[in-house]
Amino acid sequence: MERTLAIIKPDGVARGFIGEIIRRLEKEDLSILAVKMIWMTKEQAKGFYRVHAGKPFYESVTDFMSSGPCVAMVLEGKDAINVYRKLMGATNHKEAAKGTIRHDYATNIEKNVVHGSDSPQSAAFEIAYFFNELEIFKS
Ligand code: ATP
Ligand code: MG
């Protein structure tokens, strides 16, 4: 069993896709162990995406991520990181496979509706960034 952090980004929340995205992940073998809505400050968004510090899109993506509420979730399942990233599709929606969340809903490379951890190490950091142990349902 593996855990991953999923986020419905501010564009996904504002455009009314919370239910659709949760429906899609519930159809996979992904259990939701925790969920919360959070509106990050700019500083919190910078901390979350600190691996991207210095990249040309860092300022812009952290402005975007702090522009409205997100839904953060801890997902668990077999190969959860890859299963969820497959559901999301490629970072750039123009390259995302048909039927993926980003293919179906993203409007540009930045406003791409969802986030998912990309490794067990980033999942551990990202889950702890939003949730403490008491908030995570024990499967
Ligand atoms: P995420 O980490 O949000 O799941 P990802 O792992 O597919 O996305 P990353 O390379 O980690 O992609 O980039 C983090 C986020 O920064 C992207 O999801 C997107 O919102 C934004 N981003 C990435 N590359 C660009 C770019 N070239 N221009 C603008 N924004 C970008
Ligand atoms: Mg990433």
Do 49 and 65 touch, CB atoms closer than 8 A?
A: yes
Residue with tokens 């791409």: 112
| Bridge partner list, 4 | 75
The yes-or-no answer on residue 115 being catalytic is yes
**Res. 139: pLDDT tops 90:** no
What is the per-residue pLDDT across 31-57, written as a single tens digit (0 to 9) for each? 999 999 999 999 999 999 999 999 999
Q: Which two tokens stand for residue 130?
A: 């939003």
Give residue 86's pLDDT: 97
| Ligand 1 binding residues, C-beta < 6 A | 52, 57, 61, 91, 109-110, 112, 115-116, 118
Give residue 138's pLDDT: 85
Domain segments of the chain: what residues? Answer: 2-39+69-133
Q: Return the CATH number of the domain spanning residue range 2-39+69-133.
A: 3.30.70.141
What is the per-residue pLDDT across 7-37, written as a single tens digit (0 to 9) for each? 999 999 999 999 999 999 999 989 999 999 9
Do 123 and 4 touch, CB atoms closer than 8 A?
A: yes
The pocket of ion ligand 2, defined by CB under 5 A, consists of 118
Distance, in Å, from the CA atom of 71 to the CA atom of 49, rounded to the nearest integer, reads 16
> Measuring from atom 12 of ligand 1, which residue has the nearest CA?
91
What is the per-residue pLDDT across 58-104, written as a single tens digit (0 to 9) for each? 999 999 999 999 999 999 999 999 999 999 999 999 999 999 999 99
- Annotated catalytic residue, options 52, 93, 103, 115: 115
Distance, in Å, from the CA atom of 103 to the CA atom of 37, rounded to the nearest integer, reads 24
Distance, in Å, from the CA atom of 22 to the CA atom of 20, rounded to the nearest integer, reads 6
